[in-house]
Amino acid sequence: MRARPSTLESVNRLTQNIDDLLVPRLEAVRRGLDSPARTTRNAVVIGRLLGADLVVVLLTGMWSHVVQEPPTWLTLPTRPAGLYQWTQGAHVLLGTMMLPLVLAKLWVVYPRLFEWPPVTSLPSAVERLSVALLVSTGLLQPVIGLVNTFQWYPWPFPFRQTHYALAWVMAGAVLLHVAVKLPLVVGHWRAGGGSR
Amino acid sequence: MRRRQVDVPESADQVSRRTLLTSTGLGVAALGLLGAGQTVGWIEPLARIVPRDRAVGPQGLPVNRTAAQAGVTTAAIDPAWRLLVRTPTASTSFSRESLLAMPQSRSALPIACVEGWSADGVWDGVALRDLLVAAGASPGSRLRLTSLERDGAYTVTEMPGEYAADPLTLVALALGGRPLHVEHGYPARVIAPGRPGVLQTKWLSSVEVL
């Protein structure tokens, strides 16, 4: 006579079944997406360009915010007279040029979305959450910025305040992402530094 | 344990490193060239994604918000217009004629829009610091500027004292040697160094010392 399975056993069997169902499919998807150009080295090459671009865009964006809402304790420089012309020109230009870099970076790394198990520990959960913020703000910020330069506002939220708030979310997500990936970044900084 | 293999066709995705980096670089360069035309003159003909043409606009300067959009077409050309300068102790009003009768200053300053484009202009008018002194205020005062504009996001703005004190900052009455066009803020507008276009108040109606 068979004993009735305990709750724990039932849960174990259920997760095992899900695992059996998903693992081969996700592996197949990743095999199908495998490409000689999807390497860690390429992620680093595009990623550091993106990072440098982002630093300038973030600083010029923060400058634009300060100029528009100056804190009373801060005395702003009024010279050079064309300063804002240059900072904001650079902000819009480099922000627009960011788009192909974001798309290329996503193309190189997106098969990692299909990793299984998706989360292995608390730090890995935080890291994946930061990647979700990174990808969404990385696409949203340049797109709404570009749309704003056409003075087209197909959304109900105020552009400037939203763009500013999301910049902090993006900066935090980038910092966390770089911190997590630092060993890989260092290892692949130079060509041939590591295996893929 | 046994895992079922799922068959997939061999990857058709054989993009090489060169293809990836070349196409990314081309995309970046294309957007860069197209966008830079907003500010950099010689590549302007390439500027296909530019929201507005720098050469279009009265007095050779583009206009972001027209007098009609701002709802000031009547108020701006009303001969009864006066610029009110309010200090904590007094109020002085200036007609356009009285402003023109004051010593005039000239500043070469760009309109630099938050949307990235910019264009240079040569402005004539009364230095804001001179106006403040004439009204009995200190030239480095923090100011509240009000436009004739109705319900715009920038109808009422503040100007930190450092801009008010800068001799380049004008209550501009003319652009390129000709009276200010109504689209550029006739009868008078503010032009200051280093500030975004949205804060260069057009159709100025009052300057209040805070």
- Cβ within 8 Å, pair B194-A76: yes
Handedness of CA B62, B64, B69, B74 (dihedral sign): negative
Mutate to test the interface with B, among A17, A38, A83, A97 (most CBs of B within 10 A): A97
- Cβ within 8 Å, pair B35-A45: no
Position A64 in a domain = yes
Position A128 in a domain = yes
**B152 φ/ψ angles, rounded to the nearest 5 degrees:** -100, 160
| pLDDT digit string, tens, across residues A133-175 | 999 999 999 999 988 887 788 888 889 999 999 999 999 999 9
Residue B164 reports pLDDT greater than 60? yes
- Cβ within 8 Å, pair A76-B160: yes
Cα-based angle B156, B158, B159 (whole degrees, multiple of 5) = 135
Structural domain that includes position A70: 39-187
Return the pLDDT at B128: 96
Which secondary-structure segment (H or E) carries A32? helix A7-32
Position A90 in a domain = yes
Position A78 in a domain = yes
Task: From A95, A85, A88, select the one nearest A147 (Cα to Cα).
Answer: A95
Return the pLDDT at A124: 85
Burial class (CB in 10 A: 0-12, 13-18, 19+), B183: buried
Position A107 in a domain = yes
Report if pTM > 0.90.
no
Which top CATH class is B58-209? alpha beta
- Please state the domain count of chain A: 1
ipTM: 0.83
Position A193 in a domain = no
Stronger pLDDT, A123 or B4, i.e. the higher one: A123
**Where are the domains positioned within chain B?**
8-50, 58-209
Position A26 in a domain = no
Q: Say how many CA atoms lie within 13 Å of B122 toward its Cβ.
A: 4
Q: Which residues contact B7 (CB under 8 A, 6 or more apart)?
A: A28
Q: Which residues in chain B touch residue A37, judged by CB atoms under 8 angstroms apart? A: 15-17, 19-20
- Cβ within 8 Å, pair A89-B6: no
Stronger pLDDT, A20 or A139, i.e. the higher one: A139
Q: Residue A138 and residue A166: Cα distance in Å, rounded?
A: 10
Task: From A27, A14, A38, A180, select the one nearest A116 (Cα to Cα).
Answer: A27
